Structure 1
Amino acid sequence: MRTLIVGAGVAGPALAYWLRRAGHEVTLVERAPRLRTGGYLIDFWGAGFEVADRMGIAPRLLEEGYVLSGAHDVDDRGRVRARVDQARLAESVGGRYVSIVRSDLARALCDCLDAGVEMIMGDTVAALTDRGDHVDVEFERSEPRRFDLVFGADGLHSRVRELAFGPQERFEQELGIAVAAFDVDAYRPRDEHTVVMHAAVGSQSARVALRDDVTLFLLTFRHDGALPDDPEAQRKLVRTAMADAGGETPKILEHLPRARTLYLDRASQIRMPHWSRGRIALLGDAAACPSLLAGQGAALAIAEAYVLAVELVRSGGDHRIAFGEYERLMMPMVLAKQNGARGLATAFAPLTRGKLRLRNALFRMMGIRFVANLVMGRSLRDPIEVPDWPGA
């Protein structure tokens, strides 16, 4: 079938790969003029890692990503008050766990697409009309076209979701936290293979050393409502929100003006009763963004793409059956991840001094090996068996 996928982040290229393997004609359109760079470091494991392995890119992800030895939680003077042994947790899943910059994961997925995937950069959809036997698509720049199926993989602020299901505010649940990520060269101090975190009332800062003397910072802070689009206004908001964070944060903020990239967005979830309507379906953050707090959005997106493609093959191309099975298999796991993330707001931006003390106590408990194994061991194993590719 002629299929259109909107969004060349993580879910879109993964779906394009498997639809091409099933023999479909695939067009992949991306609003940005080129593949995005920067972003934050994500932990990648579970069903998504299994799918990446079947795509043949797991060795590349392990090479380009980072196997971190641990995470240190520090006080205002920089003294370590809690340690989490991440290396041991990775060992518990046979090394099928890596931390990688989100844009590097997206590029690896795009690089494994064959020449049969049509890529359109710098464009997106402007109108969708489901005719029953096809979908008429109007683009912002390209000529109108007709497709058999349309997939929205265009993230939290999905244009496909807006056109096919309604405005974002109908499905978005804000968590009251904003996320800022940026990276700079030659920052000191530099702790190799370690995430260094510091929390205050209403915020948390974290840094991790990357290759080529680059340091990545992830700042989370309490914030409600819209965020500015202007880069200077964004930097001002971050400085204001983190002004009283203490510890190393003032020094980190001094380096914000020379950041190579800056990512700023709300920590929100998308919750929908269904991910499909007619010949249009959603996946990844467009369908069910779990938020950065869940820590597994990219892996879930890749698993969703694979299951969606498998069900289209199993159904003989009957999208009604395929979409129904896709939702039945994936929705319970995604919902569980979303529910778990809502309870983690205290870890990323404690609302009160009492909750800050609670957060610090929990991190100290995570430094106890059997507690860490008990808590993390469950989350590192997704409650789904990745299905075999039909006919394999």
Structure 2
Amino acid sequence: MSPQHDPAGQALARRFEAAFMPNYGVPPVALARGEGTRVWDVDGHEYLDMIGGIAVSSLGHAHPALVEAVSRQVATLAHTSNLFLHEPEVLLAERLLGLLGAPARVFLSNSGTEANEAALKLALKYGGSTGRPRFVAAENGFHGRTLGALSLTGKRSIRDQFGPFPIDVTFVPYGDADALKSAVDDRCAAVFLEPTQGEAGVVPPPEGYLRAARDVCDATGALLVADEIQSAIGRTGHWFAHQHEGVLPDVLTLAKGLGGGLPIGACIGLGEAGTLFAKGDHGSTFGGNPVAAAAALAVLDTIDRDGLLEHVRAVGAELSGGIAAIEHPLLAGVRGRGLWLAIVLTADRAAAVQAAAQRAGFLVNALQPDAVRLAPPLVITSADVAAFTAALPAILDGASDDR
């Protein structure tokens, strides 16, 4: 193909491949701009965004509240480091504590894996002071790719080549309360769990599992750490997914949807866990910077003001119900809560479904070989949902034929 007829996306992909390490491969779409629930690639093709930057773009793209808050803050004060405090970070911490409704303290970071690193350091300090050298986490769980978070991640394909790891972790089947109870004893510092497993395929726990985890931690003195990097900030129809069972963790980690597109994470220690760190125990140069804090406040304010929790529950039910009503030989069903769902397939055709959806004007994520993740902006409309579910049978046909 001559340069004058070379699509802009292909040209940019070649530049990406030449300039970047190959850990991502080459992403299939080069995006140029977004508005609401739609994005456009560099060649002008329009897509309905059904993945939201991996559950990040809570308010969609270019939301006026987010644009205004970030623009105002970056024009006022963009960075302070942790040597100085600023009001946006204090307002954000206070707001998060209010949503939890329990005594707690906050550490702000830049990402989910950093939030989990902070949680791990909290647990290590707790374990060191109480003679608890062990940790328990779930098979197929995902907590991040830095070495500390990766040591708690029960996905061997991304973990094994980087071991051995410095902490002793026992992995148990997710959702098996008996296995969890057998693994947690008085030598366990903490249990790390996702209230719904994300990277494993959007796998909700059996009813009562989080309560069982809370009970075994109470009985043994272990900390319960809830990794809500993907599941919080309205994604499942509650502020936090652990609220589905009315269970409070000892440590809560947040990121992704909290910033609506700006990089921010949070590690929240409840009760005594909030005061484990002493001065100098942990830190971050950019964590909780004024711009990211302003973005997070805009996200929380908009979700509250616009009634998006109720909206997520309603439109999420429309989305899951619409998928469940489809009869197709490639479709096994749908699982998840709110606007965090997996289309479950009868065969390992998720990559083909993602490609067919892209051709049809929808962005989805092939999460597992037989599962396609949906995590659209919380502002997605009923009309958007209807358009996607109406197109899904043809997408599945295309994935079945694309061999």
TM-score by length of 1: 0.27
- Point out the structure with the larger helix share: 2
